[in-house]
Amino acid sequence: MNTKIIYADLVASMKGWMRSRGTIFWAVVFPVLLILLFGAIFSGTDNPTYTLYVQDKDDSTWSHTYVDMMKNISVLKIEMVPADENITGYIQEQSLRGALVIPEGFSDMISRSFQDQTTTVNMSFYFDPSEQGSTSVVRSIIGSSLQETNLMLSGGRQIIGLEEKSTITKKFKYIDFFIPGMIGFTIMQMCIYGRY
Least confident of 41-50, 80-89, 138-147: 41-50
Q: Which fold has domain 50-153?
A: abc type-2 transporter like fold (3.40.1710)
Least confident of 20-34, 117-131, 136-150: 20-34
Q: What is the pTM of this model?
A: 0.61
- pLDDT-derived band at 81, boundaries 50, 70, 90: very high
What does the pLDDT read at residue 44? 63
Q: For the chain, first and last CA: distance in Å?
A: 21
> Domain limits of the chain?
3-44+173-193, 50-153
CA 112 – CA 69 distance, rounded (Å): 22
What does the pLDDT read at residue 45? 57
Give whole-number Cα distances, 79 to 23, 36, 73, 117, in Å.
52, 34, 13, 32
Cβ proximity of 119 and 109 under 8 Å: yes
